[in-house]
């Protein structure tokens, strides 16, 4: 009798346990893949054996400014989708700035990682062009059902908490700040389907929440 009860427990709970521990590998992108968001369009414009090139909106005042790192074209490593180069006038330069490890596959609930870099801010403290130190700390929170303009998706939720520090600027004040953002990644959509910013710390700088409106994936 005890054995039957135990087997019944496995039947009920084992699928959820396996799903919770599921590892999500980097998606395969193709030239022509395109995602249309409420704040702009991104698409894959080139690919080779080891990397993809993604084009971001050229409008530097858009809410995509932070997500694009200020660049229009970025090269991603295929295995992890970490950003490895930015393209300026078709010349490669090592990518060392914002959202470098934004997509850091594989994903699995509970995974955490951190990226530390120095850069001139794109929003907020950018007024006096000083170089500040940034820490982006990521955590995979788990699975959620999310509904956006493009439809309903089972997505894995990421949290990005960042801290910015720096020396006194032109007003004599040292920098110490930060904020949070949340992202929902869909294996079906092969990218984030939703982004949400900390209302107090990020939205005052012109950043707006965004979501996927439509997408097309080439085969």
Most confident of 7-16, 144-153, 167-176: 144-153
pLDDT attached to residue 126: 52
Say if CB 179 and CB 198 are below 8 A apart: yes
Where are the domains positioned within the chain?
25-216
Point out the least confidently predicted range of 74-83, 88-97, 150-159: 88-97
Say if CB 44 and CB 35 are below 8 A apart: no
Over residues 154-200, the pLDDT tens digits come to 999 999 998 888 776 545 555 667 788 999 999 999 999 999 988 65
Q: How confident is the model at residue 13 (pLDDT cuts 50, 70, 90)?
A: very low
Question: The whole model's pTM is what?
Answer: 0.83
Fold classification of 25-216 (topology level): YmcC-like fold (2.40.360)
Residues forming a β-bridge with 215: 35
Q: Which two tokens stand for residue 191?
A: 């990218």
Q: How far is CA 142 from CA 96, 111, 122, in A?
A: 28, 10, 30
Task: State the Cα–Cα distance between residues 7 and 1, nearest whole angstrom.
Answer: 10
Total residues belonging to the chain: 219
pLDDT attached to residue 120: 78
């Amino acid at each position: 009798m005890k054995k039957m009860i135990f087997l019944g427990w496995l039947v009920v709970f084992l699928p959820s346990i396996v799903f919770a521990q599921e590892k999500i590998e980097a998606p395969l992108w193709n030239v022509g893949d395109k995602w249309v968001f409420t704040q702009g369009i991104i698409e894959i414009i080139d690919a080779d054996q080891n990397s993809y090139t993604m084009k971001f909106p050229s409008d530097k005042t858009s809410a995509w400014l932070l997500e694009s790192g200020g660049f229009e074209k970025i090269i991603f490593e295929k295995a992890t989708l970490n950003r490895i180069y930015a393209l300026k006038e078709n010349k490669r330069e090592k990518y060392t700035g914002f959202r470098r490890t934004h997509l850091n596959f594989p994903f699995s609930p509970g995974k955490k990682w951190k990226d530390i870099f120095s850069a001139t801010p794109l929003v907020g403290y950018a007024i006096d062009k000083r170089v500040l130190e940034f820490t982006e700390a990521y955590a995979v929170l788990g699975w959620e059902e999310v509904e956006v303009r493009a439809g309903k998706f089972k997505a894995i939720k990421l949290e990005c908490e960042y801290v910015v520090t720096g020396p006194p600027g032109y007003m004599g004040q040292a920098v110490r700040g930060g904020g949070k953002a949340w992202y929902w990644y869909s294996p079906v959509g092969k990218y984030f389907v939703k982004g949400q910013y900390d209302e107090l710390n990020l939205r005052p700088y012109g950043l707006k929440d965004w979501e996927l409106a439509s997408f097309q994936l080439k085969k």
